[in-house]
Chain A
Amino acid sequence: MASDQDEFLRATMGAMDLVYNLSRRLTDGRQDAEDLVQDTFLQAFRAWADHRRPKKVEPWLATICLNLARSRYRARARRPSEVPFEEWMVQAGSSSDPESQAVGKIEREQLYRAMRALPEEQRVAITLVDLSGLSTYQAAEAMGTPRGTVLSRLHRGRRALARLLGDRIEEVTR
């Protein structure tokens, strides 16, 4: 018979990228984001072991992550970003072609700055829906707001990104 731990890990580890992407958008650095991911999974595991189990794990983990971020990381998340850009760049430009790397870096740098420039509510909505694949119904549940509010934040965030970076993207792909 599978233990609580095994069941929990089997049910939730597939949502690791979702929690990681959300944490990255809510904190200022990779280390803080990884701590938030770990705290999220530990809190979720305690609830799981206490037989408080969700029907769907993704929105549940997102809710826990958002609540933890609000209570423990918000003050830091709202400060102007002090993240060394090089840290954010670690995963960028895996190609060995210098030209591809250069283009990748320019886009990544601009994308990073544009995402950081969005209001937190828009950044979270985009992360939950566009990066993590939640429906707007699930995102609304996780964010504790009406779905109409999520749709509005989502669209305004997308529009801001398009206006900030659209010319650059079209230039590169032309």
Chain B
Amino acid sequence: MMRWMRRGFRRRPHDPERNAAEYVTGELSKRATRWLEAHLLHCEDCWREVLLGRLGRRIAAEAREQASAGLRDRVRGAVQFTSEGGPAGPAESLGP
């Protein structure tokens, strides 16, 4: 299985975008990660994409927001209202 995975990875077309996306997301197997990290030492295209991917991921994470307690209460209330036989209509009719 591992040998198949390694061969499969090596046989893939050189695709810096896909390599970077999987690597930065942390979805490569350990073996594929080792292969890519060795490859990054001499492939400028893949290295550049990994750097951009890492930075972009870090920036994107800054946009994370938390739902307010008011919204949580509103959703709980709407679900309760619906389960008690209230009309499951559009959001406007079930607002706080």
Binding site for B on A (CB under 8 A): 3-5, 8-9, 13, 16-17, 19-21, 24, 34-39, 41-42, 45-46, 49, 91, 107-108, 111-112, 114-115, 126, 129-131, 135-136, 148, 151-152, 154-163, 165-166, 169
Q: Is the CB of B91 within 8 A of A35?
A: yes
- B79 at the A interface (CB under 8 A): yes
Interface size on B, residues (CB 8 A): 41
Q: Is the CB of B91 within 8 A of A151?
A: no
Q: Is the CB of A16 within 8 A of B72?
A: yes
- B25 at the A interface (CB under 8 A): yes
Q: Is the CB of A5 within 8 A of B79?
A: yes
Q: Beyond A34-B74, A158-B56, A160-B56: 15 further Cβ-contacts under 8 Å? A: A13-B75, A13-B76, A17-B64, A21-B65, A38-B74, A41-B78, A42-B82, A42-B91, A46-B88, A112-B63, A130-B60, A155-B53, A156-B17, A159-B49, A159-B56
Q: Is the CB of B83 within 8 A of A49?
A: yes
Q: Would A111 and B71 be within 8 Å (CB), given that A24-B65, A41-B79, A158-B52 are in contact?
A: no
Q: Can you name 25 A-B pairs with beta carbons within 8 Å?
A: A5-B83, A13-B75, A16-B71, A16-B75, A17-B67, A21-B64, A38-B78, A38-B94, A41-B79, A42-B91, A45-B82, A46-B88, A107-B62, A108-B62, A112-B63, A115-B60, A148-B18, A151-B17, A151-B21, A155-B20, A158-B52, A158-B60, A159-B53, A161-B56, A166-B59
- B80 at the A interface (CB under 8 A): yes
Q: Which of B20, B27, B79, B88 has the most CB of A within 10 A?
A: B79
- B61 at the A interface (CB under 8 A): yes
Closest to A160 in B: B56
Q: Is the CB of A166 within 8 A of B55?
A: yes
Q: Is the CB of A169 within 8 A of B59?
A: yes
Query: In the complex, what residues of B have CB within 8 A of residue A158's CB?
Result: 21, 24, 52-53, 55-57, 59-60
Q: Is the CB of B88 within 8 A of A42?
A: yes
Q: Is the CB of B52 within 8 A of A163?
A: yes
Partner of A131, one of B25, B27, B61, B82: B61
Complex-state Cα separation, A35 to B94, whole angstroms: 9
Q: Is the CB of B18 within 8 A of A151?
A: yes
Query: In the complex, what residues of A have CB within 8 A of residue B82's CB?
Result: 42, 45-46
Complex-state Cα separation, A5 to B74, whole angstroms: 14
Complex-state Cα separation, A140 to B3, whole angstroms: 27
3 closest A-B pairs by beta carbon, nearest first, are A158-B56, A35-B91, A155-B21
Shortest beta-carbon distance from B93 to chain A in Å? 10
